[in-house]
């Protein structure tokens, strides 16, 4: 059921004192449907509230709160696991978006919270599990007391819960996550081969290469920082096979574009990337259908066989003389080069922002040859960093890897 992954690359050899693969360290019961406890006082219309049993924490039974929505259908429906970001919770409005598109969906709270009867707020409860401690700051605790261990397990249990329901097509379940949820969903995509697609938003692998906030650390304890890399998602998804759509902005303050591109490059045989210029960071920007339509088109094709697949760049750009090749069943309408006249560097702090961002990206048009399926452009000498976006008639964006000259 799980993929056993490994790599000879030095980066992926980092581990805790226990040398076992993460898969071997997880409790096998995460693949079994957990016991559920319905919580009707917190239902939000047709979206049901529940708790489900999760792994014991320090000898104490725990449960995760979740919203579950299943659209009415005469046939089993596809489903999505929805993983919130840092400071988030179980979002019933996210479930509703997917329900309205014909999917069942579950959104769980991964930090031991439940809402009030209106679906608002975050309150601990008698079965709360651990809460996140910074950026893997609990890494020196025993593995089974670390938040990531429980968060990953809770997600796998949510998948098992969906898989066991007769109203849901067990062979058509995907996952998407936003920010920290992108970190978690990309990690899970590497260890849960039951998934039919994965859509991490913002968060990715190679986290300590990030030029944004997530890559910052004091430098006072390099040994501790190396230990934290145990939880980097790239350990798991490198060598994986779950079809994946990587989504990010080009100036995200937390997860810089280079780590999304690196994650895309090591999964390129089964992955796509969609980079949205100046995309805001947050839950709604990461789930609104009008802002990130690629998410829903990708899921529709992978889980329903509906519509056309996203286009694919089969020859990536290199150097200043761009000549890309692509495939697309939907004609392209635009090809745009976004560039910087410097290396990707985070030093500009926008007004009302907490963290630095890159300089403003410039853009120039590239030339599409629809008959030859090529895109060409010649870059001025001063350009040091760029990526290329291709947009089709549906308005969907696929992106090239990030090139740093």
- Per-residue pLDDT, averaged over 26-30, amounts to 97
State the pLDDT at residue 219.
67
State the pLDDT at residue 216.
77
Q: Is the pLDDT of residue 11 over 60?
A: no
Q: Is the pLDDT of residue 382 over 90?
A: yes
- Are 126 and 198 members of one domain? yes
Question: Domain total for the chain?
Answer: 2
- Whether residue 4 is contained in a domain is answered as no
- Are 303 and 319 members of one domain? no
Q: Are the C-beta atoms of 321 and 381 separated by less than 8 Å?
A: no
State the pLDDT at residue 23.
87
- Are 216 and 360 members of one domain? no
Tokens of 374: 């090529």
**CATH number for the domain harbouring residue 365:** 2.60.40
Helix (H) / strand (E) containing 147: helix 147-163
Dist. CA 9–CA 308, nearest whole Å:
36
What's the predicted TM-score (pTM) here? 0.94
Q: Are the C-beta atoms of 240 and 266 separated by less than 8 Å?
A: no
Q: Is the pLDDT of residue 199 over 70?
A: yes
- Per-residue pLDDT, averaged over 185-202, amounts to 98
**108-147 pLDDT, tens per residue?**
999 999 999 999 999 999 999 999 999 999 999 999 999 9
State the pLDDT at residue 220.
75
State the pLDDT at residue 10.
37
- What residues are paired with 178 via a beta bridge? 201
Q: Which are the contacts of 172, defined by CB distance < 8 A and separation ≥ 6?
A: 77, 78, 79, 196, 303, 304
- Whether residue 117 is contained in a domain is answered as yes
State the pLDDT at residue 6.
32
3-state secondary structure 31-78: HCCCCEEECHHHCECCEEEEEEEEEEECCEEEEEEEEEECCCCCCCEE
- Are 256 and 374 members of one domain? no
- Are 303 and 321 members of one domain? no
Q: Are the C-beta atoms of 194 and 101 separated by less than 8 Å?
A: no
Tokens of 180: 């920290």
Q: What are phi and psi of 309, to 5 degrees?
A: -70, 160
Q: Is the pLDDT of residue 19 over 80?
A: no
- Whether residue 5 is contained in a domain is answered as no
- Are 122 and 103 members of one domain? yes
Compute CA distances 189 → 123, 212, 242, 350, whole Å.
29, 24, 6, 34
State the pLDDT at residue 16.
40
Write out the E strands in 122-185.
123-124, 168-178
- Are 221 and 321 members of one domain? no
- Are 77 and 104 members of one domain? yes
Q: Are the C-beta atoms of 359 and 293 separated by less than 8 Å?
A: no
State the pLDDT at residue 258.
97
- Are 163 and 73 members of one domain? yes
Q: How does residue 354 score in pLDDT terms, banded at 50, 70 and 90? A: confident
Q: Is the pLDDT of residue 100 over 80?
A: yes
Residue 70 CA to chain centroid, in angstroms?
22
- Whether residue 2 is contained in a domain is answered as no
Dist. CA 27–CA 239, nearest whole Å:
23
- Per-residue pLDDT, averaged over 274-285, amounts to 97
Q: Is the pLDDT of residue 289 over 70?
A: yes
Cα maximum dimension of the chain: 64
Q: Is the pLDDT of residue 7 over 70?
A: no
- Whether residue 3 is contained in a domain is answered as no
State the pLDDT at residue 218.
60
**145-182 pLDDT, tens per residue?**
999 999 999 999 999 999 999 999 999 999 999 999 99
Q: What is the DSSP letter of 328?
A: -
Dist. CA 279–CA 316, nearest whole Å:
23
State the pLDDT at residue 239.
81
Structural domain of residue 345, as residue ranges?
A: 315-404
- Are 341 and 253 members of one domain? no
Q: Is the pLDDT of residue 2 over 80?
A: no
Q: What is the DSSP letter of 142?
A: -
State the pLDDT at residue 13.
38
Dist. CA 347–CA 404, nearest whole Å:
17
**CATH number for the domain harbouring residue 24:** 3.40.50.1820
Q: Is the pLDDT of residue 50 over 50?
A: yes
State the pLDDT at residue 18.
43
Burial class (CB in 10 A: 0-12, 13-18, 19+), 267: buried
């Amino acid at each position: 059921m799980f993929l056993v992954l490994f790599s000879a690359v030095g980066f992926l050899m980092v581990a805790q004192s226990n040398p076992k693969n993460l898969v071997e360290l997880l409790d096998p019961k995460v693949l079994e449907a957990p016991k559920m406890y319905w919580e009707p006082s917190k239902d939000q219309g047709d979206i049901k509230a529940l708790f489900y049993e999760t792994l014991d924490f320090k000898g104490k039974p725990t449960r995760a709160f979740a919203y579950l929505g299943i659209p009415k259908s005469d046939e089993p429906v596809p489903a999505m696991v929805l993983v919130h970001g840092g400071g988030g919770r179980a979002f019933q409005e996210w479930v509703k978006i997917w329900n309205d598109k014909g999917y069942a969906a579950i959104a769980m709270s991964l930090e031991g919270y439940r809402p009030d009867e209106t679906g608002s707020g975050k309150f601990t409860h008698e079965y709360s599990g651990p809460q996140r401690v910074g950026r893997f700051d609990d890494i020196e605790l025993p593995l089974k007391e670390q938040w990531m261990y429980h968060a990953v397990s809770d997600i796998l249990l949510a998948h098992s819960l969906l898989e066991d329901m007769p109203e849901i097509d067990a062979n058509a379940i995907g996952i998407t996550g936003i920010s920290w949820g992108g970190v978690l969903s990309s990690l899970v995509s590497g260890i849960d081969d039951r998934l039919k697609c994965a859509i991490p938003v913002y968060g990715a692998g190679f986290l300590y290469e990030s030029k944004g906030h997530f890559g910052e650390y004091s430098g006072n304890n390099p040994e501790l920082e190396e230990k934290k890399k145990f939880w980097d998602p790239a350990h798991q998804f490198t060598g994986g096979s779950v079809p994946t759509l990587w989504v990010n902005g080009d100036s995200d303050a937390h997860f810089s574009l280079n780590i999304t591109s690196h994650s895309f490059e090591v999964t390129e045989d089964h992955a796509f990337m969609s980079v949205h210029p100046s995309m805001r960071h947050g839950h709604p920007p990461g789930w609104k259908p009008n802002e990130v339509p690629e998410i829903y088109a990708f899921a529709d094709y992978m889980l329903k066989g509906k519509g056309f697949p996203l286009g694919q760049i089969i020859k990536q750009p290199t150097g200043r003389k761009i000549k890309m090749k692509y495939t697309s069943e939907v004609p392209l309408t635009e090809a745009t080069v976004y560039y910087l006249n410097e290396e990707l560097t985070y030093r500009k702090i926008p007004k009302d922002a907490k963290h630095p961002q890159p300089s403003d990206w410039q853009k120039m048009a590239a030339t599409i040859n629809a008959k030859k399926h090529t895109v060409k452009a010649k870059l001025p000498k001063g350009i040091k960093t760029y990526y290329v976006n291709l947009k089709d008639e549906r308005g969907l964006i696929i992106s090239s890897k990030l090139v740093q000259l």
